[in-house]
Chains A and B, each alone.
Chain A
Amino acid sequence: MADRIEITINEWRVKADNREPLINVCRREGIDVPTLCHHDRIKPYGVCRVCMVKVSWGRKSKYVTACNYPVENDDVIDTESRDVMSLRKMSIEALLGRCPNEQEIVKFAASHGVTSSRFPPHKPGGDDCILCGLCVGVCNEVVGAKALGFMERGPEREVVTPFMEFPESCIACGACSALCPTTKMTMEHQKTEILKSRHGDIRPCRYALMGLYPGGICANNYRCHACDVDQKYREIAGDEHPIFIARTEITDGGEAA
């Protein structure tokens, strides 16, 4: 049992476990800290910098990312002061500038009051990836397939499959596309068929992998697009979520063939 400590968030005293990630405390207490690169099942990566908050100890203070900051006793945390908001908005503005045509990002930005960006896109039409690392994280840590990774550095950084080839280790679970906040990760019908023939129908489904479905192996043996977990997910995410669009394409194509 971890030590219980007390911290202050926005002038509220709250209890927490020692060195527990700050974002867990905030979510438990109903304090909204937005993120774009965090998922409960994946080790915090801390790169989108949207979950920035301020921690103070007496006169000293520092900006930290809530997703991976381990809280300590008597931390005074501020999640909504002006300077925190301006850092957060600037990060959102930068990502919106990078991907101006990604509906999820546009929606996310608008909900935080960012509707236009001074950052021009680096590619004509904008990029389709905010480099949040969720797909890489889920593939390496949760699925264990290691079919995705980062390539290059700085402005050229991008998510690719090993050696940019058709990945041998991919099991077509779709976890990356389910987590991807943009349209970067999609599943192509033909390639999915190849992977399906390689691994068969019985294999872990993405919901099981991500902990959304408790059963372990998908009850429907990959024909899971209509299972109730999918239904539940549809309720949360809506029909417009890229994964359902991608799913429909796969299914339609599959049946036609």
Chain B
Amino acid sequence: MKLTSPTQLDQVARDFRASLEGYKTTISLCGGTNCTACGCNEVLEVLKTELEARNLTYTVRLIVTGCQGLCSEAPLISINPDDVLYCNVEPGWIKRIVSDTVIEGKTIPDYCFTDPVNGTTYEKFSEIPFFSDQTRVLLANSPHIDPSDIRDYISVGGYRALAKALFEMEPGEIVDEISASGLRGRGGGGFPTGRKWASGAKAPGDHKWVICNADEGNPGAYMDGSLLESNPHLIIEGMIIGAKAVGAGAPGGGYIYVRNEYPLALSRISEAINEARRWGLLGNDILGSGLSFDIRINRGGGAFVCGESTALMASLEGKPGEPRPKYVHTVEKGYHNEPSVLNNVETWANVPGIILDGAQKYREHGTDASPGTKIFSLVGKVRHTGLVEIPMDRSVRSLVEGIGGGAPEGKKLKAVQTGGPSGGCLPVSQLDLQLDFDVLNEAGSMMGAGGIIVMDEDTCMVDIALHFIRFNTDESCGKCTPCREGLQEMERVLTHITEGKAEMDDLGHLEELGQWMIGGCLCALGATAPHPVLSTIKYFRDEYETHIKGHKCPGGVCRELIEYSVIEANCTGCGDCVTVCPTGAVSGLPDKVHKIDMLLCTKCDECYKACKFEAIGK
């Protein structure tokens, strides 16, 4: 059915809620990418069969949601209204879950989340510190709604902001509201969204475009993919509001540039667009307001640089995804040289909330310069990995040590990398910094898209810097000299350092290369690529010096610099290391101290891993 007035939205919501009244329980199975990889589809099949066998299909509502957030414990099942979250669910548990929790209403503590730090078991979903410490605004509905059913989104207040924007606000008022909220672009640059929209609205032209950047390529970051998977209509609603604000209605239009490596996000957003068209929320005369606007999807070909605005638009036009100089902004001349307002998925997702509740309410969270909440994807050597949404006035420490639970296995934290492969590494002494766009920039790192990679004491910072430089070298388009030649040169020098072949002058050379790239590169990929190197030299200079002067790798990572030796006091002569050594470099009689012949050793690390008595040193 096509909705032709805003009052019909309320009717849809009422009807849908009425249709749910028959259900006593809702089981939400997480169907995010991680849970799918961890086997949620098998759980789903067993669950369906079990509910059918017990004749519960009319009283129990089973939905597959998008990512619920606690990805280290996948697959997840949440059961409402009991407010229970079961972690690491196996198909064999389903019988007991259905009989005990669904039918009898008893929580099974064995399946609940147990904190590995203090061993506390949390029987209530909302009491788990990982969730209760967060401020979930954008992700609030993700664990509860079925992303494939538009009515579910409408029933929790969806498309109300659109109705308000279409019928109660002028385009200028929408832009003013966004400006007043202080919303900053979530894709990395942190450019004020309101200012971008105002230039878009002012730019001359009949054809204008609003574009959503969902080409999330940072390794370890997946908040945009997760938003598209769990709540695609939120982004569509934001884009329609943006289209009205800047005048991108027909004959202009909208594009979502999704990376092709997100098959689930791609299918969910395509389905959502089709559904929105069926319900009259996209297409001609949206909700009877006279605004015509449609969104098309463009699949990205897997180039990291296409997250850069000009490269993205070149790619949309069907040209090679290479950036061009931005002396003329894309908001004036972008897609096909027409005004194009490009925002990141998360930025668009913020729009409906600001329009519905007002800019003042939005400013309640975060700092003056960086208001609102931000989704971080917390990965690496940290106990609880997953998506975390917190206001931007929280400190890095509260995110990593509080919500993340610190490094696992009793290891010490060493550094936190923010902002993906182009961000910097912050040492433990800097962890009290606020997660704010400007504060992170000043510290030599950046907010980026919100990827947070945690590193423990076993990490070698030179190796980490080399890893990110390799990533950027692979992803550089090779168009401009500093990015193409500078990254290759940085990779060469860093490789020398990890192999112990470098000299102290090379550090100065690296810093000089970094300054050259920051000043001279054509686009932001090259200009931010030296950050991992410069920040590690700034904060971990001693580690570089140990590599160069001492020919030692303090983290025990750089292969060329490792010398294995037997710590005689600890060796019991158990022979485990002899068994695993593939080249026969380790030898020794039973119950006698063993020896390692470094001429034969290939540094495969197997003996070190096999030793139970910490008798192998490196």
Contact = CB atoms under 8 A, between A and B. Distances in A.
Interface string A92-119: 0011011000000000000000000011
A6 to B, nearest CB: 19
A30 B324 CA distance: 28
A190 B70 CA distance: 67
A85 to B, nearest CB: 12
Interface stretch (B104-112, B141-149, B447-455, B468-476): B468-476
A165 interface: no
B522 interface: yes
A256 B561 CA distance: 63
A200 B29 CA distance: 72
A78 to B, nearest CB: 13
B484 A64 contact: no
Interface in B318-362: 320, 324-325, 327-328
A224 B324 CA distance: 37
A152 interface: yes
A69 B486 contact: no
Interface in A151-195: 152-157
B519 A157 contact: no
B320 A119 contact: no
A68 B489 contact: no
A65 interface: yes
A206 interface: no
B479 interface: yes
B520 A70 contact: no
Contacts of B486: 94
B327 A154 contact: no
Max chain A Cβ within 10 angstroms of own Cβ: one of B305, B480, B481: B481
B484 A157 contact: yes
Contacts of B539: none
A46 B303 CA distance: 21
Interface string B591-609: 0000000000000000000
Contact of B473 (A94, A118, A155): A155
B516 interface: yes
Contacts of A156: 478
Contact of B516 (A69, A90, A97, A155): A90
Contact of A150 (B320, B325, B512): B320
Contacts of B480: 46-49
B485 A119 contact: yes
B492 A120 contact: yes
A9 interface: no
Interface string A37-54: 000000000111110100
A91 B478 contact: no
Given A47-B480, A118-B509, A154-B476, A87 B520 contact: yes
Given A91-B516, A155-B484, A49 B478 contact: no
B151 to A, nearest CB: 45
Contacts of A63: 519-520
A153 B485 contact: no
Contacts of B101: none
B482 interface: yes
Contact of B478 (A65, A83, A87, A153): A153
Nearest to B493: A118
B481 A46 contact: no
Contact of A64 (B305, B327, B478): B327
A257 B473 CA distance: 48
Contacts of B476: 153-155
A69 B521 CA distance: 14
Contacts of B324: 46
Nearest to A50: B481
Contact of A119 (B477, B489, B520): B489
Interface in B484-520: 484-489, 492, 509, 512-513, 516, 519-520
Given A46-B325, A64-B327, A155 B478 contact: yes
A49 B479 contact: no
Contact of A95 (B474, B479, B485, B509): B485
A8 to B, nearest CB: 18
A57 to B, nearest CB: 13
A97 B493 CA distance: 14
Contacts of B492: 120
B328 A98 contact: no
A152 B478 contact: yes
A198 interface: no
B477 A47 contact: no
Contacts of A94: 481-482, 485-486, 489
Contacts of B509: 118
A232 interface: no
A49 B520 contact: yes
Nearest to B521: A49
A33 interface: no
A146 to B, nearest CB: 13
A49 to B, nearest CB: 5
A68 B327 contact: yes
B325 A65 contact: yes
B530 to A, nearest CB: 13
Interface in A110-159: 118-120, 122, 130-131, 150, 152-157
Contacts of B489: 94, 97, 118-119
A153 B303 contact: yes
Contacts of B519: 52, 63, 83, 87
Interface string B291-316: 00000000000010100000000000
A247 B513 CA distance: 40
B347 to A, nearest CB: 24
B522 A154 contact: no
A48 B485 contact: no
Given A49-B522, A69-B327, A90-B512, A155 B488 contact: yes
A65 B523 CA distance: 12
Contacts of A65: 325, 522
A48 B305 CA distance: 19
Given A49-B522, A153-B477, A131 B327 contact: no
Contacts of B320: 150
Q: Which of A63, A98, A119, A154 has the most CB of B within 10 A?
A: A154
Contacts of A86: 516
B520 to A, nearest CB: 5
A154 B303 CA distance: 11
B520 A122 contact: no
A193 to B, nearest CB: 33
B308 to A, nearest CB: 13
Contacts of B513: 90
A47 B481 contact: yes
Given A63-B519, A157-B478, 18 more contacts: A46-B324, A46-B480, A49-B521, A52-B520, A63-B520, A69-B327, A86-B516, A90-B513, A94-B486, A94-B489, A98-B485, A131-B481, A150-B320, A152-B478, A153-B303, A154-B476, A155-B476, A157-B477
Interface of A: 46-50, 52, 63-65, 68-70, 83, 86-87, 90-91, 94-95, 97-98, 118-120, 122, 130-131, 150, 152-157
12 contacts: A48-B481, A69-B325, A86-B516, A90-B513, A94-B481, A94-B486, A119-B485, A131-B481, A131-B484, A154-B475, A154-B484, A154-B487
